[in-house]
Structure 1
Amino acid sequence: MPHRFQKIDWKKTLDSIPKDVADLLQKGFDEQNEKDFISLCTSLKQGKCSLCGHSLDYYDENAPCFHLLLNPKLRRKVRENLFSRPISFIKLYTYLAWVANSEKPFENINDILCDISDKRLFEATIRYKNIQWSFCFSKEDLEGHHGSKIGKMPHYHFQMSVDNNIIVSYNSTHIQFTPDDFMYFEMIRQNAIQIDPQYASGLDMLKGILQVSVLPNGLVEFVETISEEEAHITYVVPETINQEQLLEVGKIFENSNMEVYQIIDELNIEKGYNIKYYVFSRMKDNPIKKAKRI
């Protein structure tokens, strides 16, 4: 369906912004995202919604909030009211992905492109506790089903399941896109911006974070997040490292782009340490599968 954003040369428009201004805007955007994500995590722990400020079981039929989808006992009347109006795909998807990341960063989202059905432009499933939310839309959905009473406006499909039982089905939801969505999609189509996994916004601080613990068998375990799908684990023999050396590894890690094993190798060479270690690469545990729409 034609829309006003197609008339804009987005690449030319964005390239016209001075680099220092663009960098400043991006910095402000990243900082705000980080604050918003921390606020979301804090609110969830308190049983509250960071968007509306109310408790997670609060419902206002005149202004339904995204937090309603965190309720595993979502009533039919409530969800019908929520989906009866246009909802930004970008905002809803990002919100639910952030919720999932608050529980286990990066591991509860499957939106990889390689296994998308030929009939779809987008497919993804997000998991949080015992709830799964799935999204999909095709080219026909994006344009709207002409001549059809249901789905004639551009829309996406949404599914929700609790304990693997579907309570909101793909075929029962035709959620209309908003202007924000069309603008974002058009910028992607024109290659003006890269496809940015918005759910990672606010989570850059988690990439490269080093978690250190001592296992029951005495090994010192360093867990470093490498990407959304992978973590590197370095096991150090405790007899070969002391407290000062442990702190030294952590300090170098914070101030460099080196991985733990690289830091240990460098310290062993430069300072004559004899730290012994083993490195493993761990992919996602319990990988999430997409809920396919037939």
Structure 2
Amino acid sequence: MAINFEKAVGRATADFAKMTAEDLDTWNEMNDAEHRSQYLRFIDGYQRDHCYLCDKDFKTVSKESPCVHWLLRRGKFKNKDIVLIAQKFGYINICAYLRWCANAERFAANINDLKDEAPEGKILSSTIKWKNIEWSFDCAPSDFSGHGGSHSNFPHYHFQMRIDGKQFINFNDYHLPFSDHDLFMLRLSKEPGMHFDFGSHGIGMQDAMEIDPEDIVNHTSPTENEEEAAFNIQTMIIAPNEPLRGEDISAAFEESKRTGRTMASIFRERFEGADVEVSSIVSPSETVPKITPRTEHKPR
């Protein structure tokens, strides 16, 4: 029986509207606790190359029990097997798992879901990097509405997988169906006051760049290895009445190495109250993977 998502969303928003502030706090705490519990089971298994979902080793591929961990390509996972995974788990669950894997290696910076870098008009557009693998998700409005013949006349998304930079699954190989849960959550997220995300352990660069720049400057640590960086912080110092001394820059650099603080935060502290303007620009690291674009096939 087909689900009427408009009615389901209407009921959900009505239920939320009836909640008191205390009810919402309790509901959020319960969701956070469940998210945390699942993540702890995930990371415990991940550190042992073991999947918490199917309770099997990452190298195990059992066609009787499709699992998202196949996408780590530790076993004999074939191109067409993505259909089995998609049918069982749906977009949100697949994406959440891959985000957790990516963030276990480098937090946020392995996930490019930046709206400013996504092709215009897309419903979904992101690329996730994990070790030597990149996964990309793409969905245009025509995909979501279900275009074309019987092979694609349902709400679907496209998926690409690269291994060592080489194509393993192409965007247009398959039309992967959204689950009912996916469709409900995507529709609900359009309602005023409703927000969907992948939780604190699944954040990507979009969420990271929405952090207050002051907090990034004051609470991140510099690294000499660009591959470990999530942000690029450029700082400009203007001293109109007195030239900046080389000793000041050298002292700030040494303090940064010693304390693990950013140069920007040190300069702001050192020149506080002086006739010196210190401004910083925070941007994503150059090593954040680029969003892989998909060329849509247009009907003739």
Secondary structure of the residue aligned to 1:114 is: helix
Could you tell me whether the CA contact under 8 Å between 2:66 and 2:88 is conserved in 1? no
Distance 2:108 2:120 in 1: 26
Distance 1:119 1:211 in 2: 33
Distance 1:262 1:12 in 2: 51
Letter in 1 for 2:162: S
Q: Output the aligned Cα RMSD.
A: 3.8
Structure 1 match to 2:179: 178
1:237–1:82 Cα change, 3 Å: closer
Structure 1 match to 2:6: 6
Letter in 2 for 1:126: I
Distance 1:100 1:170 in 2: 20
Moved more, 38-47 or 100-109: 38-47
Could you tell me whether the CA contact under 8 Å between 1:130 and 1:163 is conserved in 2? yes
Q: CA deviation at 1:21?
A: 1.8
Distance 2:234 2:52 in 1: 33
Could you tell me whether the CA contact under 8 Å between 1:87 and 1:176 is conserved in 2? no
Q: TM-score, normalised by structure 1?
A: 0.71
1:149–1:212 Cα change, 3 Å: closer
Secondary structure of the residue aligned to 1:27 is: helix
Pairing of 1:115-154 with structure 2 (within 5 A): 115-118=117-120, 120-146=122-148, 148-154=149-155
**Pair 1:74-2:77 in alignment:** yes
1:78–1:24 Cα change, 3 Å: same
Query: 1:237-289, CA deviations, whole angstroms, 9 ceiling, x for partnerless residues?
Result: 46xx9xxxx8xx99xxxxxxxx9759977xx99xxxxxxxxx99674241211
Pairing of 1:233-272 with structure 2 (within 5 A): 237=254
Distance 1:42 1:231 in 2: 33
Structure 2 match to 1:219: none
Give 5+ residue unaligned stretches, structure 2.
236-250, 274-279, 296-300
Could you tell me whether the CA contact under 8 Å between 1:144 and 1:153 is conserved in 2? yes
Could you tell me whether the CA contact under 8 Å between 1:87 and 1:177 is conserved in 2? no
Secondary structure of the residue aligned to 2:39 is: helix
Could you tell me whether the CA contact under 8 Å between 1:36 and 1:202 is conserved in 2? no
Pairing of 1:1-294 with structure 2 (within 5 A): 3-7=3-7, 8-9=9-10, 10-71=12-73, 74-76=77-79, 78-83=81-86, 85=87, 87-118=89-120, 120-146=122-148, 148-194=149-195, 196-198=196-198, 200-201=200-201, 229=231, 237=254, 283-294=284-295
Could you tell me whether the CA contact under 8 Å between 1:107 and 1:284 is conserved in 2? yes
| Count of residues paired in the alignment | 254
Q: CA deviation at 1:38?
A: 3.3
Q: TM-score, normalised by structure 2?
A: 0.70
Could you tell me whether the CA contact under 8 Å between 2:83 and 2:176 is conserved in 1? no
Q: CA deviation at 1:35?
A: 3.3
Q: CA deviation at 1:157?
A: 0.7
**Percent of residue pairs bearing the same amino acid type:** 21
1:213–1:119 Cα change, 3 Å: closer
Query: 1:141-192, CA deviations, whole angstroms, 9 ceiling, x for partnerless residues?
Result: 111125x021122111111110111111111121111111111112122224
Distance 2:223 2:88 in 1: 50
Distance 2:22 2:132 in 1: 45
1:235–1:65 Cα change, 3 Å: farther
Distance 1:117 1:151 in 2: 21
Distance 1:50 1:163 in 2: 26
